[in-house]
Amino acid sequence: MTPHLQCQGLGCRLGGQWVLRGIDLRIAPGERVALVGANGSGKTTLMRVLHGLQPHHQGTLTRGEAEQVMMFQRPHMMRLSVQAQLQLGLWLAPGSARTWSYWQRCRQQAAQVLCDMGWADLAQQPANTLSGGQRQRVAFALAWARQPDVVFLDEPTANLDPQSKRELETRLTEALDAREADRPVTLVFSSHNLGQVKRLATRVIYLERGQVQADLPTERFFEDDLSESHPLAHWFLKGERFT
């Protein structure tokens, strides 16, 4: 199967410092990949490079023709209603038609997405007054309305209360499962919540100081003895690796 994303020897500098070095990855359609590691390990930078928001300075990176979206940890909300923000986001998407008829279609699509997600009650609320959990819902709704093939999520439930975390995880799982039959969605996300990683990921990549130290199926990452094969990942899981 042709991969959505493939890189070899990938490296990236920020402020004169190498923050990613020697990254070799191949991510296939339908995979659910979790990036784990301490703060500063390179998780967010890797996603930004893979998504095309950050240039790389070494190695090669190949992206397929897949539609990609990225949901940030703190999504920006405008002084518009939630439905209007979704409508504008769809209308401004790359490759979209800038016509009145398409603007009207985006309005209908925004309303339908909110209804499908069970969040129609948010439609007329000012987007910039929403709580953190509600903002994440809106950001996810906009990302999903684009009908993506690859979704990048940067700490999608960070700073949310337990109920909001569960709801967003549930909506994400339902949305991914609904697309599996006809066109599987590839998920790449970062998280410090190892329980969430177990629930959502099929593959775990452990990063330390900008390098991949383990790349394993989720079951092996959490259940195998990694003390000899992947010692840095082993000590991370023991709570002994923070820098």
Q: What is the pLDDT of residue 180?
A: 62
Same domain, 110 and 154: no
In a domain, 45, yes or no: yes
Q: What is the pLDDT of residue 136?
A: 84
What mean pLDDT do residues 81-101 have? 87
Q: What is the pLDDT of residue 182?
A: 66
Same domain, 42 and 91: no
- Which of 202, 191, 184 is CA-nearest to residue 160? 191
Same domain, 107 and 146: no
Average pLDDT, the chain: 90
In a domain, 242, yes or no: no
User: Which whole-number Å values give the CA distances from 215 to 53, 62, 98, 170, in the listed order?
Assistant: 24, 19, 43, 26
Same domain, 70 and 94: no
Same domain, 70 and 173: yes
In tens, the pLDDT along 167-177 reads 889 888 888 88
Q: What is the pLDDT of residue 77?
A: 87
The answer to whether 42 and 19 have CB atoms below 8 angstroms apart is yes
Same domain, 83 and 27: no
> Residue ranges of the alpha helices (H) in the chain?
43-51, 82-91, 100-116, 132-145, 162-179, 194-200, 218-223, 231-237
Q: What is the pLDDT of residue 7?
A: 96
Highest-scoring range by mean pLDDT, 55-64, 88-97, 136-145, 164-173:
55-64
Same domain, 124 and 139: no
Same domain, 23 and 103: no
In a domain, 203, yes or no: yes
Same domain, 166 and 225: yes
Strands 5-14, 17-27: pairing kind: antiparallel
Same domain, 17 and 62: yes
Model's pTM, two decimal places? 0.89
In a domain, 120, yes or no: yes
In a domain, 44, yes or no: yes
d(C-alpha 42, C-alpha 39), whole Å:
8
What mean pLDDT do residues 64-84 have? 87
- The parent domain of residue 107 ranges over 79-129
In a domain, 34, yes or no: yes
Tokens representing residue 108 in the block: 């209908």
In tens, the pLDDT along 172-216 reads 888 888 766 667 899 999 999 999 999 999 999 999 999 999 999
- pLDDT over threshold 80, residue 127: yes
Please, which pLDDT band fits residue 239 given cuts at 50, 70 and 90?
Answer: confident
d(C-alpha 163, C-alpha 128), whole Å:
21
d(C-alpha 193, C-alpha 212), whole Å:
19
- pLDDT over threshold 50, residue 243: no
d(C-alpha 89, C-alpha 142), whole Å:
7
- The CATH number of whichever domain residue 147 belongs to comes to 3.40.50.300
Q: How many separate domains does the chain show?
A: 2
Out of 129, 153, 171, pick the residue that ends a domain.
Answer: 129
Same domain, 93 and 148: no
What mean pLDDT do residues 149-154 have? 94
Q: What is the pLDDT of residue 134?
A: 85
Please, which pLDDT band fits residue 221 given cuts at 50, 70 and 90?
Answer: very high
Same domain, 15 and 40: yes
**CA–centroid distance for 109 within its chain:** 22
Out of 65, 99, 129, pick the residue that ends a domain.
Answer: 129
Phi and psi at residue 21, in whole multiples of 5°? -145, 130
In a domain, 154, yes or no: yes
In a domain, 243, yes or no: no
- pLDDT over threshold 80, residue 139: yes
Q: How many residues would you count in the chain?
A: 243
